[in-house]
Amino acid sequence: MFWTKFFIPTVKETPHDAVVPSHVLMIRSGMLRQVVAGAYAYLPLGYRVLQKITNIIREEMNRAGAIELNMPAMHPIEIWEESGRAEIMGDTLIRLHDQPWRRGTVLGPTHEEIITDIVRSYINSYKQLPMNLYQIQTKFRDEQRPKSGVLRTREFLMKDAYSFDVDKDGLDVSYDKMYAAYCRIFERSGLPYTPVEADSGPIGGDASHEFMVVTDAGEDYLVRAGDGSYAANVERAETEPIADLGCDSMDEVKEVHTPGMSTIEQVSTFLKCQPSDMIKTVIFQHSEGLLVALVRGDHEVNEAKLRRFTGVTGLAAATPEQIEELTGASVGFAGPVGMKARVVVDQAVTVMHNAVTGANKTEYHITGVNAGRDYEIKETADIRYAVEGDRAPNGSPLTFEKCIEVGHVFKLGTKYSDSMNATFLDKNGSATKFIMGCYGIGANRILAAAIESFHDDNGICWPINIAPFAVHICALDQRDENVMATAAKLHDALESAGIDVLCDDRDARPGFKFKDADLIGCPIRLTVGKRGLADNIVEIKVRTEEEVQKVSPDEACAAVKAIIERLS
Ligand code: ATP
Ligand code: MG
């Protein structure tokens, strides 16, 4: 490809709303243009990268035995009502209702419902299983704050696969195949990824893994054991129980007046104690009533853990009215003493002595609170987020890093075959629910995560397998016939060897061309200039290396191929 015949609108200015490096660099390198908040046009250079990524994904999915199909973005709302997710999805589900025919139409944020409907319609015997169906298709989600460029958008390209098995063992096999395929996809894409245990909902166990890329642009937290033995999403991360240091004597319970002080910070400052000396009482509602969670003052309740432990559905924060009715006090003064609801106590609270907590009386707290004497612990579990200073279950200290999820594999079990009554006939001829798994990868996120991971002050540094072009020829001295002929010859030779090559044949200064070459970040730069050719040399430079290799034009193709081999 020649630059003058292609379309790469590089720009100097950084758009003011672009903050994260991938967003800035995609715009500056002419890969991307925002069309509306949360939806972008991929210009030719960006689209080449996206295609390289989807090609890798497709190859690996096919290799793993998955079968490609394509499902529409427009779904009837009825199918989302059938699974019960129309409500759960809330505003994320984009509804079209400005025309009578569209009234019951939504834009698919994912395709479990549609695929389950297809499979239940055509697959009726265990003999047709297992089956794994996938697509690479556009998803729509009304993300609250689409931001960080293409890391989080309202319209994005996902590879989503769905496995159908006769039993749990079959699901384990399908899951492991997808896990392995994902590792290959990320390895081939050159991404530094970490698989982590993820929240797996009610199924629990090892039923879900996320593939994370560590980056400051991420919104998730990756929690790792210092010894490398453990990695999990902070949503899921478990901790070593906190030791009981005991105490010499139990203080008396004392009521203290804390006017207008309803936060942990206000009360601990006022009483000159630490937040970790306080018990935080968090009140939730769920479909069958109220639920109280106790955590240490410096900890936060992890709702996913609480949901999993209690098995309740529809867990959400209680309303101020509910809290006032339950505690007899205004919000901010709840405590475990005399609490009349189901109370789940976090492990860290079970080893607290002489604690400070709300008095269930407006504007009052109590001190000297001890479990056993002042309130009873009936249910205890790990229901909090891990924090700095915690240790992994094996005792190794935990570290925290910001990260972004690029892929997710999930054992669904019978979640959808139950709600949508999807069955096949088993060996004995009885109707049996499909055992499902679902597996998603964000193609745009792989692209952006690669830029987040690989860039410097001058631009992008693409991993070779997803680079828009492997080789970028800078033909200096555009008016020199020999230069242009040599550059064109090298371009043609590389291209016919199956190497993606871009030749910058613009009439521009060398410095300008080098700047653009660094910006768009192809892994290998091949410079052809008048001065070099006078000595029968061209220059080869790897984007991420300082050294410049000088070879004759005749040797250039072989030298480039050797570098590609090394970088691959
Ligand atoms: P997140 O927690 O980041 O919102 P998610 O858990 O909702 O993601 P999944 O439903 O698991 O995402 O979707 C599978 C994959 O699709 C994700 O791993 C991610 O790579 C990609 N993806 C999800 N939401 C977006 C988005 N808004 N923009 C771009 N890619 C996305
Ligand atoms: Mg996910």
Asked if 465 and 450 touch (Cβ cutoff 8 Å), the reply is no
pLDDT at 200 over 80: no
209 within ligand 1 shell (Cβ under 6 A): no
DSSP-derived pairing of the beta strands 254-257 and 220-225: unpaired
Task: Give the nearest ligand 1 atom to 158 CA.
Answer: 16
22 within ligand 1 shell (Cβ under 6 A): no
pLDDT at 388: 92
Structure tokens belonging to residue 355: 């604690």
Asked if 61 and 52 touch (Cβ cutoff 8 Å), the reply is no
For 529-552, what is the mean pLDDT?
97
- How far apart are the C-alpha atoms of 300 and 297, rounded to whole Å? 8
pLDDT at 337: 97
pLDDT at 469: 98
28 within ligand 1 shell (Cβ under 6 A): no
pLDDT at 204 over 60: no
Split at pLDDT 50, 70, 90, the class of 348 is: very high
Split at pLDDT 50, 70, 90, the class of 97 is: confident
Which helix (H) or strand (E) element contains residue 550? strand 548-551
440 within ligand 1 shell (Cβ under 6 A): yes
pLDDT at 58: 98
141 within ligand 1 shell (Cβ under 6 A): yes
Task: Calculate what percentage of the chain has a pLDDT beyond 70.
Answer: 99
- How far apart are the C-alpha atoms of 384 and 300, rounded to whole Å? 6
Which range (95-99, 135-139, 239-243) has the least confidence?
A: 95-99
Rounded to whole angstroms, the maximal C-alpha distance in the chain is 95
pLDDT at 101: 83
pLDDT at 203 over 70: no
CA of 156, nearest ligand number: 1
pLDDT at 460: 98
For 457-468, what is the mean pLDDT?
98
Q: Which string of b and e fits 310-324 if b means at least 16 CB within 10 Å?
A: bebeebeebeeebbb
Closest to 62 measured CA to CA, from 140, 126, 134:
134
Alpha helices in 8-142 (DSSP H): 21-28, 44-63, 77-83, 85-89, 112-122
152 within ligand 1 shell (Cβ under 6 A): yes
- How far apart are the C-alpha atoms of 498 and 488, rounded to whole Å? 15
DSSP-derived pairing of the beta strands 342-346 and 289-296: parallel
Structure tokens belonging to residue 354: 């002489």
CA of 439, nearest ligand number: 1
Please write the tens of the pLDDT for every residue from 259-271: 999 899 999 999 9
Distant-in-sequence contacts of 9-13, Cβ < 8 A, 24+ apart? 9/43, 10/516, 10/519, 10/520
DSSP code string of 359-384 = -SSTTEEEEEE-BTTTB---EEE--B
| Burial class, 16, CB count within 10 angstroms (exposed 0-12 / middle 13-18 / buried 19+) | exposed
172 within ligand 1 shell (Cβ under 6 A): no
DSSP-derived pairing of the beta strands 379-381 and 342-346: parallel
pLDDT at 554: 97
pLDDT at 202 over 60: no
Q: How many CB atoms lie within 10 A of CB 551?
A: 17
- How far apart are the C-alpha atoms of 487 and 57, rounded to whole Å? 33
pLDDT at 116 over 90: yes
Split at pLDDT 50, 70, 90, the class of 199 is: confident
For 383-412, what is the mean pLDDT?
95
Q: Is 535 helix (H, G, I), strand (E, B) or coil?
A: coil
CA of 198, nearest ligand number: 2
Split at pLDDT 50, 70, 90, the class of 87 is: confident
Q: Ligand 1 pocket test: which of 22, 50, 158, 210 has the largest number of ligand atoms within 8 Å of its C-beta?
A: 158
Task: Calculate what percentage of the chain has a pLDDT beyond 90.
Answer: 90
Beta-bridge partners for 346: 381
pLDDT at 183: 98
Closest to 525 measured CA to CA, from 512, 506, 544:
544
Please write the tens of the pLDDT for every residue from 29-70: 999 999 999 999 999 999 999 999 999 999 999 999 999 999
Q: Is 295 helix (H, G, I), strand (E, B) or coil?
A: strand
Q: Which residue has the tokens 């109707």?
A: 431
Which range (203-217, 279-293, 365-379) has the least confidence?
A: 203-217
Asked if 46 and 32 touch (Cβ cutoff 8 Å), the reply is yes
- How far apart are the C-alpha atoms of 433 and 414, rounded to whole Å? 7
pLDDT at 503 over 60: yes
For 489-496, what is the mean pLDDT?
98
Split at pLDDT 50, 70, 90, the class of 100 is: confident
Split at pLDDT 50, 70, 90, the class of 205 is: low
Structure tokens belonging to residue 89: 């999805």
- How far apart are the C-alpha atoms of 262 and 327, rounded to whole Å? 14
For 385-401, what is the mean pLDDT?
93
Closest to 294 measured CA to CA, from 233, 366, 375, 236:
375
pLDDT at 206 over 80: no
Average pLDDT for the chain: 95
Task: Give the nearest ligand 1 atom to 152 CA.
Answer: 28
Split at pLDDT 50, 70, 90, the class of 146 is: confident
First to last CA, the chain: 22
pLDDT at 450: 98
Which residue's CA is minimally distant from atom 23 of ligand 1?
442
